[in-house]
């Protein structure tokens, strides 16, 4: 089996100006790459979790906007920017909980604004067609920079996280915060991958993460293909392992951190945090600084995406597994209270609260 570290989760095809992603809905059975060029294709890929994980969504959206920029037909730079802003706003609405999505789209759009407004020497006097071509190059260059930054950030998160762990530790993780959720190394898995390179011999337990099974389909696939000692467990088995002393640390990623440290992550994360607090096991959130939303005071203000009922009732079954017409509640995320979080592992170091950063 080829290591997942050998795949590009998110990339850009410069010949055809297309966003290229691994279709994560087909893993682990098939490694398939999608080449996306239209707004509908890119929206569909993000909404249906063909690309997922906060950092990967951000970079994919940035490349997606760049691909759309090459297809905008405009006579003036002002008209180009007007159409680009509509695409930006449309993509921003697809996954409301992950702050990286809107952050990334506004960043690449802002780079275009900088070219037009804050660097008049570069734009002034150019023909409109030349300005538009330059704007397309600006979009792609900024998206490339974001991808490079993400790989570097994840490695630094890994280094800081590894300092908190000991050889042979048992580590629990929830959902997928690995390479498939980023551009390289992952966030919560970065210390694990670096530890694997350095012979730490970690024993990793991956929650299956109902209802979409990202832990079973993605995290277990990633870690096993990289040679990590990984054991898959059902979500409701985590506390039992903690009671047996098999877990020394919990590492999770996240989609948004409020200003007070409340953290939104895949549904079920808060239960893991409660159990970890009971058994006095450190619970760490691994996150780039871009995931911190200082404009959201607490977790109560985080908008939680609710997913289709079929993800619970039939998606992974040959036939429906519940009575017809039964009501279903299917939030994609829950909020872990800041009091349950031992520390935030970021690219700048480990902090007990966003207020320290």
Q: Is 144 one of the catalytic residues?
A: no
Q: Provide the 8-state DSSP code for 331.
A: B
* Catalytic residue (one of 150, 169, 207, 255): 255
Among 155, 183, 149, 148, CA closest to 60: 183
3-state class percentages of the chain: helix first, strand second, coil last, to nearest 5 = 45, 15, 40
How many helices (H) and strands (E) in the chain?
Answer: 12, 14
Contact present, 235 and 173 (Cβ < 8 Å): no
Report the distance separating Cα 312 and Cα 281, nearest Å.
Answer: 30
Q: Is 22 helix (H, G, I), strand (E, B) or coil?
A: strand
- Within 8 A by CB and 6+ apart from 259, the residues are 292, 293, 294, 295, 296, 297, 298, 354, 355
Q: Tell me which residues are annotated as active site.
A: 255
């Amino acid at each position: 089996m080829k290591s997942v570290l050998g795949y590009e989760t998110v990339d850009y095809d410069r010949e055809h100006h297309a966003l290229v992603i691994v279709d994560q809905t087909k893993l682990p059975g098939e490694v398939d790459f999608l080449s996306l060029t239209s707004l509908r294709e890119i929206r569909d890929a993000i909404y249906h979790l063909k690309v997922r994980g906060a950092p990967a969504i951000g970079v994919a959206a940035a490349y997606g906007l760049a691909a759309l920029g090459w297809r905008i037909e405009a006579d003036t730079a002002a008209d180009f920017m007007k159409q680009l802003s509509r695409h930006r706003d449309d993509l921003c609405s697809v996954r409301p909980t992950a702050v990286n999505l809107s952050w990334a789209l506004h960043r690449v759009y802002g780079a275009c604004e900088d070219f037009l407004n804050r660097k008049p020497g570069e734009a002034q006097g150019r023909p409109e067609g030349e300005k538009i071509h330059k704007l397309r190059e600006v979009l792609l260059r900024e998206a490339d920079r974001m991808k490079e930054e993400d790989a570097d950030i994840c490695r630094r998160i890994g280094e800081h996280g590894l300092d908190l762990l000991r050889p042979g530790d048992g580590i629990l993780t929830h959902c997928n915060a690995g390479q498939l959720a980023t551009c390289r190394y992952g966030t919560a898995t970065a210390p694990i991958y670096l530890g694997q390179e350095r012979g730490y011999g970690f024993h990793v337990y991956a929650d299956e993460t109902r209802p979409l099974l990202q832990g079973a389909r993605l995290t277990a696939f990633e870690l096993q293909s990289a040679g990590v000692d990984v054991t898959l467990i059902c979500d409701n088995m985590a506390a039992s392992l903690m009671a047996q002393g098999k877990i020394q640390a919990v590492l999770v990623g996240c989609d948004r951190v409020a200003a007070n440290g409340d953290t939104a992550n895949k549904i079920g994360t808060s239960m893991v945090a409660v159990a970890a607090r009971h058994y006095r096991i450190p619970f760490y959130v691994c996150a780039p600084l871009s995931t911190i939303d200082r404009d959201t005071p607490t977790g109560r203000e985080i908008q939680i995406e609710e997913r289709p009922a079929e993800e619970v009732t039939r998606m992974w079954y040959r036939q429906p597994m519940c009575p017809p017409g039964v009501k279903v509640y299917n939030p994609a995320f829950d909020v872990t209270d800041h009091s349950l979080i031992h520390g935030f592992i970021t690219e700048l170091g480990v902090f007990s609260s966003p207020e320290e950063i």
